Chains A and B, each alone.
Chain A
């Protein structure tokens, strides 16, 4: 019976395939995640990481340092404390940095509003790239809440040499509840 040993050989091979496929079914779980990460399918890649990478492509990091100052403004009613976590940074143009603003709601009410940026000197504004900014969206602060507001930014290396300091200012404006506080003609 020469086919008997052949049959045993074939059977061993096929049983090996079976076990491999059984293990493969468990391997599918990390595999799906890896494939989605690599191909960017299913929104698995972090949006921010992608944005930073796409900005950093083909950018030369300048060796010259530059000062950037952060300031903040808010309304006089002291309902909200809104200030940068650091007031000044020394940065290299062309590189992405991150910092935080910190907001504290000092009232017992929810505050809804948005921060509006402004850059000084005006000339620098077109070289300042905000990659991710809390100012892009409306913010909601619950009573007593302390919120860290992230900012990812970079200054383009093409910024003219004579500018040595850039000031970034944020003014927080509370959203006015039109229906509740004012009538149609704007009277209180």
Chain B
């Protein structure tokens, strides 16, 4: 137990040293570290609770996604049956997560089924090999055909929706000019957004809270809005309210001339004549062509610029707009024009997002927590160090050296893993100091026992290590299991605690098995002790 070959001793010391050295970047200013090679730049990331910032958990509305899909199915069914000249009664109804249609003539049911089955596509595109389809068409009896969305298709759709949403969220967050935001998918329907340093997420939430579905549509001038409000609404139109107060109704055709997806750029600017803030935009080629055609056909008529089903403005087309660009005015402030430009540039979200969890810490509180955590760490370490010196004297010095290296190694590993340090994480390190000495205590107490048992100094030390190490391994593994579970279930600060606790256990076991043993072995070789001052 006390014999180390030269190579093993060297290996142990080098391992410890290298791990410790990884902690170095944390002690230099960021600018200095930037000039180092990339592998040496890893450092500990401070958690949001220490550096301040915002944490948002957003949820994609799965009901919206389902409803959108069902509406689409309904339109498809209508069109398909009409094209096939198959009569149906009572329209297409959407209920119980499915669309249903009643075929008028009994003999038409089979042809209708065949036609509608063509709507169903294999999942995962043409290459889909799962054999599953995105639509289930069945005969519900009594002339009713049922079209429902299979579970797998719904999951697939949610997955795509989330992926798209993450892209859009990323673009919108980046527009805020924040440093190193983290945007991740979480679970089936959630997106996690972490923005360090953001003190007030109100504007961020406003930006993320809009789907920003932009549409250019014609205003229906056949019915005045007040009559439409009383129910005389043409079937191809709908009633929309204005975006800015007071709420004014507009009758707008459902057909979309050009959609936001055809925009290539949007910028906030000022109107050259009136000086009020406006948003100027550019279409891509296909958008420009569609817009030119639509404006040519409708000179003298008003069209509506609709954002998330609200009318921003409804200008009259004075002349065909063929240049593929234009500007939107609509009672904007500089800020709201800016926000709209950001939203249009970033694109529309496929489904609305809701904030289901929000945590924000101001930078002042974070700094305060760091200071308190540091103070607690210093005081805790000093108390433990003094206690160990008083209890074990020379062996206390050995233990303290081992614990110091242990803590340095924790920081090194945390840096290497780019781990996040949180306030509970600091608590985890302090606790580790308290626990790390436990391995030494186990060894020393065993040595004391062996001495009492009548062994001579060297044999007692040897036996002490041999017997204690098995116990150290067993007892630390149980704590490690707890830390691992905590890491798995925890988020944010709690996960930070699990990380330092877990890493602390690993370094503790490492130092107990190697460093402490090596130090004592050296001492034994140098001193050839007759008695152990323990």
- Whether A and B are associated in the same complex: the answer reads no
